Structure 1
Amino acid sequence: MATERNVSPWVKMALELGPVIAFFIGYSRWKDDIFTIWGTDYSGFVVVTAAFIPLMVVCSLILWGLTGKLSRMQGLTLVLVVVFGGLTVWLNDETFFKMKPTIIYALFAAILGIGLLRGHSYVALLMGDIMPMEHTGWMVLTRRMAWFFAGLAVANEAIWRLMSTDAWVNFKTFGLPVALFAFFMLQGRLVSRHAIGDKAE
């Protein structure tokens, strides 16, 4: 089994967030342009999506090569980017790519919810070694995460259906990362209260 290798947090962040930032910059630059390719007109959104897919694949492969592994979340995200981004380009329809975050977060919420119904915390299986915590704490955290991801799925679906593409791109680029960061920062008291062992601090 491959072991995960340490890599600079800045390099890891650049590889994970770089494609998203590049998508935002590209969309901001070419959103109002129409590109005619082989007799078919494509919006700037579709063209930038076509460029985003291989960039995401390359960055994921580099991250895999540097660390020795990709998390299940990263793997699932990559697959959905290729599938739904590919459908967006192939069918020349923005809808599929905009639906991708909805499906990702709905899947996360469903998987965590199934674990809760079985009395298990799948989050603990992923993070238990680096953040020892009582079972009760893991269950509470997992329940909160399930609702949080469900909320993100609903928010993404509402924004792309009811608001402009500009609003959706801003939400995807800035709103989702900020929401994720804020959520996990707010779990500090829960983790501290239920932490066990030498890592309680």
Structure 2
Amino acid sequence: MSPDVDDVTILAHSMGTWLAAEALRGVAMRKKSIPAKVRNVVLASPDIDIDVFRRQFVEMGPNRPRFTIFTSTRDKALEVSRWLSGGISRVGGTDLTPYTAVLGELGVAVIDTSAIASGDSLGHNAFAGSPEIIRLLAQRLGGQSVSGGEAGFADRLAAAAGSLGRSATRKTATVPVDSSEARKLLKRESTTSTGQIVDGQISY
């Protein structure tokens, strides 16, 4: 990575989110850590098996960048993807509200865009229906700072989504959460057709 770059934000959409997450996992496995310069990862409508993402997240190690995930329960493209995968939930099409507190403890902000009106009939690009969200993403990806620090970036994205309707976003909870709960979420045994994870150990 160029020494002239000191702040990297990764933006991925749909099936590209799996590639982004897998690349970060691979770097962490080879280098024992993700470079500190990678500060934010934005996953829009992630078309990833929810168990696969949990494994990828665990394998990234403790020094992960902050994640912002745009979800929508009205995403028809992800409904089709879930059907094609045998009913396995996709991260971007899942209601993550029950887990927002734990995810917040892990540095993951969840923004529900279900209420955003989108010109896309499939609802797969709902996040792009907010000019404010697009402005903030363009500002960030253009190398400009977003006031309020790294956590503030996710908060401002959530606020931008919320400007289109109170129900358009569910921000991560800010109340303290016992980290043991986070470990349970990530380390519990989960078996799928692509591999297995037991106590944080993965095999594909």
Query: Higher strand fraction: Structure 1 or Structure 2?
Result: 2
Q: Same fold (TM over 0.5)?
A: no
**Structure number with larger C-alpha Rg:** 1
Q: 1 or 2, which has the higher helix percentage?
A: 1
The TM-score bracket by the shorter chain reads under 0.3
Normalised by the length of structure 1, the TM-score is 0.27
TM-score (norm. length: structure 2):
0.26
